[in-house]
């Protein structure tokens, strides 16, 4: 693949993974990229590497611009193996004695991953590295999204190399946001919802710190997906919104069903919500990947979950989604629970308990209906939906 020129002497030399379909249990149906960046000045720096199977492809891309042995510095913004897995091969090609710049925790983590005697240069927040006419500045960004994470900023060109921040799992030859169109933000939202939401309070502080510093950011180069050159401020603003967990007048009704009874209830509750003017979206779990569901939860003011009872428990697929959601820690949501049952009926109570553990503001005791919902049952579900919609509007 031909490297992508970002600015004079600055290139994306990364690779595209067209075939990956799962990342940490998150659906990557658009594939992904492992971006790596080459800055050619009086000194040459390689910023980040790629997943191990793509090492030779990365070296091939670098070789189209410069002999890899002419690289003076290697910079590792993040230790995770999709960005560091090829380091042994790259360091061998570049020269094992070349300096490897990373955060303090990055040095510790890399040494744990790779028992190599590399020349680690752990950097402090704000430390700089001169390349000649250009200067790299390092910004510590712990927990975006590992403890070792950092950003690298090219001061003279106002380019931010943001590691996993501002990225998307998206494979394409359209390497910039103005080429990918709306899909870039769609995938960025999904990435935040499924990878970064857990760290929202810390991310908010870090981004506010970067914004308050007054540094000019003309281009953002993440390690996955497209490069933000047209509207870098837009993705920064969206990260601030998502990190504050600001929601829209929207409710998601997430459910699974055995014999359609819980589905009938879900549709009636969604109808009741919509009658209040709040957007409502019923989501059948087995027709939707958990990561797509979580993307909808990101900006939903209300989350309503329905489950039939199976073996005195909530339905297994519902438990899966709730466990996944709980780990990502959405806060400030209105919650609701409902379900159908044959003879025992524990599911609604169990679902409600999980949502209460997430500190959702629960709306009354949700509908709990035996066997097939009749006319009065369906009307009760519509009324429950109205209560949820009214709570969102308040």
Catalytic residues: 24, 78, 80, 82, 145, 164, 191, 224
Q: Is the dihedral of CA 61, 75, 131, 118 positive or negative?
A: negative
Cβ-based neighbour number of residue 84 at 10 Å: 25
Locate tokens 């169109």: which residue? 181
The angle subtended at Cα 334 by Cα 281 and Cα 143, nearest 5°, is 95
Inter-helix orientation angle 290-298/316-328, to 10°: 50
HEC assignment per residue over 73-88: EEECCCCCHHHHCCHH
Round to the nearest angstrom and report the end-to-end CA distance of the chain: 53
Sign of the torsion angle spanned by Cα atoms 217, 218, 221, 222: positive
CB 91 within 8 A of CB 98: yes
SS3 of residue 220 by DSSP: strand
> Using alpha carbons only, what angle is made at residue 142 by residues 139 and 146, rounded to the nearest 5 degrees?
125
Distance CA 15, CA 30 (A): 14
C-alpha–C-alpha distance, residues 152 and 307, integer Å: 46
């Amino acid at each position: 693949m031909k490297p992508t020129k970002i600015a004079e002497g600055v290139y994306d030399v990364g690779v595209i993974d067209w075939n990956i379909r799962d990342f940490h249990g998150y659906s990557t149906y658009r594939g992904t990229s492992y971006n790596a960046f080459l800055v050619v000045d009086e000194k040459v720096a390689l910023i980040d590497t790629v997943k191990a199977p793509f090492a030779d492809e990365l070296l091939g891309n670098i070789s189209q611009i410069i002999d890899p042995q002419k690289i003076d510095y290697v910079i590792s913004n993040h230790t995770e193996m999709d960005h560091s897995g090829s380091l042994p091969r790259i360091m061998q090609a570049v020269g094992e004695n070349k300096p490897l710049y990373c955060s303090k925790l990055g040095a510790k983590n890399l040494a744990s991953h790779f028992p190599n005697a590399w020349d680690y240069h752990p950097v402090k927040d704000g430390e700089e590295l001169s390349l000649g006419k250009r200067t790299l500045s390092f910004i510590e960004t712990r927990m975006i999204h590992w403890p070792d994470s950092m950003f690298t900023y090219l001061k003279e060109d106002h380019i931010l190399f943001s590691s996993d921040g501002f990225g998307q799992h998206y494979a394409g030859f359209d390497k910039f946001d103005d080429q990918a169109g709306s899909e870039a933000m769609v995938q960025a939202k999904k990435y935040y919802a499924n990878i970064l939401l857990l760290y929202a309070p810390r991310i908010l502080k870090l981004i506010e710190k970067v914004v308050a510093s007054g540094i000019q950011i003309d281009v953002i180069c993440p390690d996955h997906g497209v490069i933000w050159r047209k509207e870098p401020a837009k993705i920064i603003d969206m990260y601030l919104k998502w990190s504050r967990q600001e929601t829209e007048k929207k409710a998601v009704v997430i459910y699974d069903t055995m014999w359609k009874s819980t589905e009938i209830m879900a549709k009636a509750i969604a109808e009741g919500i919509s009658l209040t003017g709040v957007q409502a979206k019923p989501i059948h779990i087995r027709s939707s990947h958990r990561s797509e569901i979580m993307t909808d939860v990101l900006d939903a003011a209300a989350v309503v979950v329905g489950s039939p009872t199976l073996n005195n428990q909530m339905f297994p697929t519902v438990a899966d989604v709730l466990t996944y959601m709980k780990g990502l820690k959405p806060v400030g949501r209105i919650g609701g629970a409902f379900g159908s049952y044959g003879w025992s009926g524990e599911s609604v109570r169990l679902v409600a308990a999980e949502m209460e553990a997430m500190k959702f503001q629960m709306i009354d005791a949700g509908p709990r209906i035996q066997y097939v919902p009749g006319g009065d049952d369906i009307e009760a579900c519509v009324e429950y939906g109205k209560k949820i919609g009214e709570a969102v509007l308040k």
